[in-house]
Amino acid sequence: MSDQKLQALRVRIDDLDEKILDLISQRARCAQEVGHIKMAELAEGEQAVFYRPEREAQVLKRIMELNKGPLDNEEMARLFREIMSSCLALEQPLKVAYLGPEGTFSHAAALKHFGQAVISKPMAAIDEIFREVVAGAVSFGIVPVENSTEGAINHTLDSFLEHDLVICGEVELRIHHHLLVGENTKTEKISRIYSHAQSLAQCRKWLDAHYPNVERVAVSSNAEAAKRVKSEWSSAAIASDMAAQLYELTILAEKIEDRPDNSTRFLTIGNQSVPATGDDKTSVIISMSNRPGALHALLAPFHDSGIDLTRIETRPSRSGKWTYVFFIDFYGHKDDPLVKSALEKIAQESVALKILGSYPNAVL
């Protein structure tokens, strides 16, 4: 009796698979038609915009609202993101720069945000990502901006001071660190552990407890650490699942980060402004004169307008010694009336105000 039920369910699954296949194909053909229409409407010398961050965010949020299970909302949204990524590639494949080499958390964030169908381009430094986007060599870049354990990524903040680019989106990535070894590693004789400086800091307590006398060597990325240990016999690396798979390493210890909620926030940078979705964030850089009450004058318009600030960072200004600029993130879009009014008041009190961009709040 159970065999008959199983067979009936398998027949039903096959039938559903055919319907899903047909619907995905229909969606892909619609995406192609969208591409044709956009190309036909282009003015001479104008470039078509195929990827719309606000549209993608709206679609994914709608899918999560409509989802009735049993798959959870995030899993369903990830499935649809991959469908959207593949359909977009039929219009025009996106080129995205990230902090390489392959297997870094930045690489994982790029694929999480844009899907597997993008053409991902590894770069050696954060500033190179900015330069690739400025030059038009890639459509977007993805850069780390803050970690929940170690705080702001200063290289990224400084790059925003030097380049005029627009923040188009954000993605949050849960960071799980693993201790990896190669096939030739003699685990009882590990004398050196490679990783990025941030990752070594995020695993400090675990390392103190398990490898207190082992040398900790900071390298340019976790993926670089994984590449190094592949051919060494007395070293290990702290890196991700993705790096372990790419470089065929064995996980000696899992999830060794000191804080289980360890996460890194990434920003996508490009050249296009993003319309409001109704659930947005805005990032700005503000330079204030060094005078009594300057910080109050900066924050008061946000308070008076009821705007929720999510992050404030300071960095040394390039304009003078012991002067600083403020990096501020807050909920709302730059075109919202309340936000617009607050920014106008701040502009009157500040030396300089630079809007880095308004973008959809992270869906995944």
Query: Is the bond leading into 93 cis (omega within 30 degrees of zero)?
Result: no
> What pLDDT, on the 0 to 100 scale, is given for residue 113?
95
Contact assessment for residue 82 and residue 115, using Cβ atoms and an 8 Å cutoff: yes
The single residue of 105, 140, 160, 266 carrying the catalytic annotation is 266
> What pLDDT, on the 0 to 100 scale, is given for residue 1?
65
> What pLDDT, on the 0 to 100 scale, is given for residue 146?
93
Residue 320 pLDDT greater than 70, yes or no: no
**Residue 268 is encoded by which pair of tokens?**
């996508």
> What pLDDT, on the 0 to 100 scale, is given for residue 328?
97
Is 266 considered catalytic here?
yes
Asked if domains 1-37+50-92 and 178-261 share a fold, the reply is: no
Residue 260 — very low, low, confident or very high, per pLDDT cuts 50/70/90? confident
User: What mean pLDDT is predicted for residues 154-166?
Assistant: 93
Q: Residue 305 CB: number of other CB atoms within 10 A? A: 18
Contact assessment for residue 84 and residue 63, using Cβ atoms and an 8 Å cutoff: no
Is 130 considered catalytic here?
no
Residue 177: Cβ-neighbour burial (10 angstroms; 0-12, 13-18, 19+): buried
Residue 349 — very low, low, confident or very high, per pLDDT cuts 50/70/90? confident
Tens digits of per-residue pLDDT, 278-295? 999 999 999 988 788 888
Tell me which CATH homologous superfamily contains domain 94-175+265-272.
Periplasmic binding protein-like II (3.40.190.10)
Whether the predicted model's global pTM rises above the 0.85 cut: yes
For 14-127, list the strands marked E by DSSP.
Answer: 95-99, 119-123
> What pLDDT, on the 0 to 100 scale, is given for residue 329?
97
Domain ranges within the chain, ordered by starting residue: 1-37+50-92, 94-175+265-272, 178-261, 274-360
Residue 150 — very low, low, confident or very high, per pLDDT cuts 50/70/90? confident
Domain covering 274-360 in this structure, CATH number: 3.30.70.260
Q: Percentage of residues in the chain with pLDDT exceeding 90?
A: 77
The single residue of 264, 268, 277, 282 carrying the catalytic annotation is 264
Residue 242 pLDDT greater than 70, yes or no: yes
What does pLDDT average to over the chain?
Answer: 92
Domain covering 1-37+50-92 in this structure, CATH number: 1.20.59.10
User: What mean pLDDT is predicted for residues 234-249?
Assistant: 94
C-alpha–C-alpha distance, residues 259 and 211, integer Å: 18
Residue 203 pLDDT greater than 80, yes or no: yes
Q: Percentage of residues in the chain with pLDDT exceeding 70?
A: 99
The sheet with strand 250-253 has its strands ordered as: 215-219, 192-196, 235-239, 178-181, 250-253
Tens digits of per-residue pLDDT, 94-127? 999 999 889 899 999 999 999 999 999 999 999 9
Fold (topology level) of 178-261: D-Maltodextrin-Binding Protein; domain 2 (3.40.190)
